[in-house]
Structure 1
Amino acid sequence: MNMNMKKISIAVMMFAVMVLLAACGGAKEDENTSSSNESTDKADVVEVKHELDNNPVKVKKNPETVVVFDFGMLDTFDDLGIEVAGLPKANIPAYLSKYEDEQYENLGSLKEPEFEKIHALKPDVIFISSRQADLYDQFAEIAPTVYVGLDYAHYMDSFKHNMNLVADIFGKEDEVKEELAEIDERIAAIKEQTTDFDKEALIVLGTEGKVSAYGPNSRFGLIHDVFGFKAADEKIEVSTHGQNITFEYILETNPDVLFVIDRDAAVGGQASAKDSIENDLVKKTNAYEDGAIYYLDPSYWYLSGGGLLSMKEMIAEVEDAL
């Protein structure tokens, strides 16, 4: 091989080495970039596990277009200054009447969502609770859907779980931590009073002249389980709709304290619970004779519940009763 050929071979080899090094460098850069993007993507997403989906629901942090189908969650957003795009406007609680404004899309009712309108909003996330659980798949087809139903047997655990979930998604950790601490403090003060409270309580829901009772571990059972009131009847059937009872039952149970929630007032009817409940039979109970019948605001107890605002108001009503 002559000298010129050797020079050409060396030049070719050096060029090949340079190309190989550049390719390796580029591959490493691509790998680093990909890894960085993946890390960023994970940092911008909250994975939510809930009972209606076998797989974690991926919700981007600080979502902009928010749809909510739970009034407790709506009052939480209101309390934390989180904007919503749409909600069901049928039977909005009076304390949340600002959301009747036209700037918020009307998406039907809690039980009958208008899916076409929801789809048109192109939401980043949808929040639902037990009233829409059967429709989860239809919501999930539109956008990541988060189930925030309450576990009544473990009320405070599920309530705090939902609040911390909101904190993670919307970057409200400090605000939620502070509010939960205040709530815990107020509940502890109530329990100090009820620990030695020798009076027994009964919780009833009144609707159209009929009554149903709620005991521990039930929908309104936090009066017993969280606030510490002794139950006048420990064997009440645990049910979302309560156990059907008669006014004779109330007299036989003879509660010292009677908590009443008026469903008719909550759903737009005439407030009738007081007229039907304070009859000749109930007037013979200790609760009536001691002036210890308390009518709880159904906006908080029946329509919403499980939100930061409603929880604080529910606590306030129990504080007043004590």
Structure 2
Amino acid sequence: MKKLWMAVALTLGVAVAGPKGVVMDFGALDTIEALGAEASVLALPKANTPEYLAKFNTDSYASSGTMKEPDMELIREKSPDFIVISGRQGAFLEELSEIAPVINFSVEGEYLTSTKQNILAVGKAVEKEPEALEAWNLLEEKIKKAQETARASGKSAVVILHNDGKFWASNSNGYANFIHNVAGVKKADTDAQEKGLSATSAYLELKNPDLIFIVDRSAAIGQTPMDPQHFTQDEFTAVNAVKDGKVIYLTPKLWYLSGQGLQSIERQLDEVLDAL
């Protein structure tokens, strides 16, 4: 019925509002903003909004629920033309698909290939596909330059996730994949890893990275953030990154709750490059 009404309205010359959607992935949301299509957004998980998207945390936009549990009643009431989800809402895919076409903004397979497809899909949903492609091409050039800068620096890194007082190092999770494979920073630990390793002083001394990047999950979700003095303890002083003041605290919500968007990728690249 909605498509029929739009066709009739166009025939009669009646002004028709653009497509409207519920956007539950912050990378998708920052992509929509970058494309100048904010008016397409009906609702988002406002309680978790990253600082750089604060303009959406107002009464102009409804709350779509939490990051893990959408408000299905509200989404039905909004009658969106499209819905964007992240992996956190994957369990609701089938139910949401009964309301409107769903774009899953999660990365599947190779990062850059999947991310480009997702950005173009969102661009198409808000009728900005050519603009999305142009923006992606510019971003891809910045990624290539970042990789050249990282390689030229010769610096190696360890990526650590903090959660509730525990520190886990990984060279293969999503954050590490971005820093090593997208931004091009060399791995201090080149061993294959199926899961994270405890980031003890012994481990860090053994791998001796030039840089330590930290994603603070606890801070991102509103719990007690890590102790900023943790890595200044005497047991870590032999580690190059600690000696050189290169323990980098990445913006928590940007890294843990967002990513893969036109703005978030650029912001993440900037944080990595600033550390080199």
Fold shared, TM-score > 0.5 on shorter chain = yes
Task: Report the equivalent of 2:65.
Answer: 108
Q: 1:77 aligns with which of 32, 40, 48?
A: 32
**1:219-238 superposed matches below 5 A:** 219-235=175-191, 237-238=193-194
Counterpart secondary structure, 1:149: coil
By how many angstroms is 1:300 displaced? 1.6
Deviations 1:237-276 (A, max 9, x none): 345xx44443432232221111111222211234325233
Q: Quick one: structure 1 residues 92 and 217, their matched pair in 2 at CA, closer, same or farther if it must change by over 3 Å?
A: closer
Asked if the contact 2:158/2:169 (under 8 Å) is kept, the reply is: yes
Q: Give the structure-1-normalised TM-score.
A: 0.74
Task: Show the 5 A alignment for 1:126-205.
Answer: 126-151=83-108, 154-205=110-161
Over 3 Å counting, the alpha-carbon distance change for 1:225 and 1:245 in structure 2 is same
Pick 1 or 2: higher relative contact order, CA cutoff 8 A, min separation 6: 2
Distance in 2 (alpha carbons) for counterparts of 1:132 and 1:191: 32
Deviations 1:9-42 (A, max 9, x none): xxxxxxxxxxxxxxxxxxxxxxxxxxxx9xx99x
**Is the 2:32–2:126 Cα contact (8 Å) retained in structure 1?**
no
Residue in structure 1 matched with residue 273 of structure 2 by the alignment? 319
State whether residues 217 and 238 of structure 1, in contact with CA within 8 Å, keep that contact through their aligned partners in structure 2: no
Shift in alpha-carbon separation, 1:183–1:269, aligned structure 2, 3 A: same
Q: Secondary structure at the match of 2:19?
A: coil
Q: Say what the alpha-carbon RMSD is for the aligned residues.
A: 2.4
Q: Map of 1:239-250 to 2, 5 A cutoff?
A: 242-250=196-204
Given the alignment, which residue of 184, 189, 209 partners 1:255? 209
State the distance in 1 between where 2:19 and 2:136 align: 25
Q: Percent identity?
A: 37
**More displaced, 140-149 or 193-202?**
193-202
Letter in 1 for 2:74: K
> What is the letter of the counterpart of residue 144 of structure 2?
A
**Whole-angstrom distance in 1 between the partners of 2:173 and 2:26:** 21
TM-score between the two structures when normalised by the length of structure 2: 0.86
Aligned residue among 153, 161, 164 for 1:208 = 164
Q: Deviation digits for residues 164-215 of structure 1, max 9, x if unmatched?
A: 1122333323322332222222222222223244332100111222111221
Unaligned runs of at least 5 residues, structure 2: 8-16
Q: Decide whether the 8 Å contact of 1:213 with 1:236 is kept in 2.
A: no
2: CA distance between counterparts of 1:243 and 1:132? 27
Contact 1:214–1:236 (CA under 8 A) maintained in structure 2? no
User: C-alpha deviations, 1:44-89, integer Å up to 9, x for none?
Assistant: xxxxxxxxxxxxxxxxxx9622001111111111111222001112
Shift of 1:136: 0.9
On the 8 A contact 1:215/1:238 being kept in 2, the answer is no
Query: Which segments of 5 or more consecutive residues in structure 1 lack a partner in the other structure?
Result: 1-36, 42-61
1:228-307 → structure 2 map (5 Å cutoff): 228-235=184-191, 237-238=193-194, 242-307=196-261
> In the alignment, which residue of structure 1 is the partner of 2:10?
none
Instruction: Indicate which of 42, 48, 66 corresponds to 1:91.
Output: 48
Helix, strand or coil at the partner of 1:211: strand
Larger Rg: 1
SS in 1 for 2:103: strand
- What SS does structure 1 have at the residue aligned with 2:223? coil
Q: Match for 2:222: what amino acid?
A: G
For this pair of structures, how many residues does the alignment match? 262
Judging changes above 3 Å, is the alpha-carbon distance between structure 1 residues 273 and 187 closer, same or farther for their aligned structure 2 residues?
farther
CA distance in 1, matches of 2:126, 2:57: 23
The answer on whether the counterparts of 2:159 and 2:175 sit within 8 Å (CA) in structure 1 is no
